[in-house]
Amino acid sequence: MTIKTFNINSDKTAFVKAYLPDAIAGLPFCEKRPAIVIFPGGGYEHCSDREGEPIAFQYLALGYAAFVVTYACNEKFPEPLMNAAYIFYKIRMRAEEFSIDPQKMAVLGCSAGGHLAGCLATMWSDIQLTKTIGCEPEDLRPNAAILCYPVISGVTAPHEGSFKVLLGEDASRSDLSRLSLENRVTPKTPPVFIWATANDDCVSAHNSLVMAKACVSNKVPVELHLFDEGPHGLSTCDKATGWNEAFYLEKVRRWIGLSAEFLAKYMNV
C-alpha cells in the first residue's frame, strides 16, 4: 500500500490522504479499482480522526482505494462544499495515476461529514461549484453515497451546532431549508445508502428518515438501516475507534458489509 498526502488549500488546513493498494500482477481488477472518498464528522468544527483512517482500512480490505479528506472547518457555507467538490474532481481527473475507475467513485460521510457527502451527492450540478472549479457538472457527481448517522436537515430535528457553523447564529428558516438535503434530492441524485441508530441522542435518526423519504419520492435507489441501539459516532464499531465490547456493536458493525453489497450492485464493483 502507498500513502500520499495532498494539500487542497495554500495554508494547508485542508488536505486529502490517499491510501492506494498495491497492484497485483496478472489481476485486471487492480488496474482500475473502485474508490471511496471519506469525509469524517466533527460538527463542521473539526475532522474526527476516528472516522477517517479506520473506515478507509475497511474499504481497503475490500479492494477499494480510499481517500480521507480533511476539509475546511469553522468556515461558512459553501467553503466546506467547495473543498469537497474540488478534491473529488481532482481525484477523478487523476484516476489513471491512482489506478482507479473514474466511474466507480463513491463518497462516504459520518455525522456532519455525512451532510457534506450528501451535499456533493445532491448539489453536484450547482453552477457556483462548476464555475469556481472550472469543470462540467458530471465531473462532480459521485456514483454513490454512503451516509453514516448523517446530519441532513436544518428544520427536522436539526443538529444545531453544525448549522450554526455553516450559517451563523441567526440563520433564517429559508437558509436552513436551503441546506436541508431532503430538499435537494432530485431524480439525478446518485444511489444512497444510509444507516443510523434509533436512540442516537446527538444527531436524531429523523435526519436519516427524511433523507430516505426524499430519495423514495424522487425514485433514487436508497437503502436505509436503522439499528435499534447504539450511541452517536460509532464509526467502525470496534476497539480501533474507541468502543469496548457491547452487545450491539457486532450487529451495527454489519453496516460495512451491507454498504459494500450496495456499492457492488450500484457501481458494478
What is the share, in percent, of the chain residues with pLDDT greater than 70? Answer: 99
| Band (245; pLDDT cuts 50, 70, 90) | confident
| Band (230; pLDDT cuts 50, 70, 90) | very high
Confidence at residue 31, expressed as pLDDT on a 0 to 100 scale: 77
Q: What architecture is the 2-266 domain classified under in CATH?
A: 3-Layer(aba) Sandwich (3.40)
Domain boundaries in the chain? 2-266
For the residues of 107-138, what is the DSSP string, one character each? EEEETHHHHHHHHHHHHTT-HHHHHHHT--GG
What is the share, in percent, of the chain residues with pLDDT greater than 90? Answer: 84
* Alpha helices (H) in 137-267, listed in sequence order: 160-167, 173-178, 206-217, 249-252, 255-266
Of 3-7, 61-65, 147-151, 152-156, give the lowest mean pLDDT range.
3-7
- Give mean pLDDT, residues 27-32: 75
Query: What single-letter DSSP state applies at residue 106?
Result: E
d(CA 239, CA 226) in angstroms, rounded, equals 22
Angle at the Cα of 264 (from 219 to 180), degrees rounded to 5? Answer: 40
Q: What is the pLDDT of residues 83-100, one digit of tens each?
A: 999 999 999 999 999 999
Which residue, chain included where needed, has cell 445532491?
Answer: 122
- Its sign, for the CA torsion 124, 125, 131, 135, is positive
Residue 224 and residue 146 in contact, taking contact as beta carbons nearer than 8 Å: no
d(CA 116, CA 128) in angstroms, rounded, equals 16
Global pTM reads 0.96
> 30 pLDDT exceeds 80?
no
Query: What single-letter DSSP state applies at residue 25?
Result: T
- Mean pLDDT score of the chain: 94
Which grid coordinates are listed for 255? 453496516
Confidence at residue 212, expressed as pLDDT on a 0 to 100 scale: 98
> 3 pLDDT exceeds 80?
yes
Using alpha carbons only, how large is the chain's radius of gyration in Å?
17
Confidence at residue 23, expressed as pLDDT on a 0 to 100 scale: 81
Q: What is the pLDDT of residues 115-167, one digit of tens each?
A: 999 999 999 999 999 999 999 999 999 999 999 999 999 998 889 999 999 99
Residue environment code for 85-99, b if the CB has 16+ CB neighbours within 10 A, otherwise e: bbbbbebbeebeebb
Which grid coordinates are listed for 203? 444527531
CA distances in angstroms from 265 to 10, 141, 186, 261, listed in the order given: 39, 18, 21, 6
Number of residues written out for the chain: 269
d(CA 235, CA 225) in angstroms, rounded, equals 15
- Give mean pLDDT, residues 216-225: 98
